[in-house]
Amino acid sequence: MSNYYPMMVRLNGKKCIVVGGGKVAERKLAGLLEAGADNVAVISPVITPKLEELAAASLIRWDKRPYNGLDAGVFLVIAATDDREVNKRVAADAERLEALVNVADAPEEGRFITPAVVRRGSLLLAVTAGGASPSLTVRIKRELEARYGPDYAAYTEKLARLRLLVQQTVADEMDKKDILQRAALEMPPFAVEENADEWLARLTRKTEG
């Protein structure tokens, strides 16, 4: 199995291309849009009704043609057709252009794989077994979904507001660290019920006590 370097990538403003118009391409495109990609094209003579809706809403561009090459300047490519040879060509073309490439039906032929993801607002949890066991990846994702429920979206947002407030109002660096560590140990929904000022006041009292 290949070794992978874990990282989070900002895709806004970057040219992304998905080759293929079926359900796999639909799923890959949904992931790109959810991650904030705003310059996405799909290359395929035919696409699913859902992808047609996205194209009609100008959320993606539909290049209605069989695959015959990639645009210069592309940053990220996903090969998601049902044709093994086409996917291999896409991977080779992406390599020549030094673009990041994912091959849906043969991950080992690409430069990156897409993990299973749990999103809770700005909290992003990703898990992969590197292709060794997709079933294990699915199981762990379900465990994460159960452990970190929807409340964590508001909780993470509240932590961000609290952090900004602490930076603005607390002078001592050790106090800052202690307050933020205490906040991160509290669990939603309790922590979400207070506004940031009330939360800081309570945490400060604990620190002083």
Asked whether 108 and 79 are in contact (CB, 8 A), the reply is: no
Backbone angles phi, psi at 3, to 5 degrees: -95, 145
**Angstrom distance (rounded) from CA 60 to CA 38:** 8
CATH number attached to the domain at 16-114 = 3.40.50.720
The β-bridge partners of 118 are: 125
Written as one letter, the residue type at 82 is: D
Backbone angles phi, psi at 103, to 5 degrees: -110, 110
* pLDDT of the residue at 194: 66
Quickly count: other Cβ atoms within 10 Å of residue 200's Cβ.
Answer: 19
* pLDDT of the residue at 121: 92
| Each residue's pLDDT expressed in tens, for the chain with a length of 209 residues | 578 999 999 999 999 999 999 999 999 999 999 999 999 999 999 999 999 999 999 999 999 999 999 989 999 999 999 999 999 999 999 999 999 999 999 999 999 999 999 999 999 999 999 888 999 999 999 999 999 999 899 888 888 988 999 999 999 999 999 989 988 887 665 555 667 777 778 777 765 55
**Angstrom distance (rounded) from CA 103 to CA 81:** 9
Domain boundaries, the chain: 16-114, 150-206
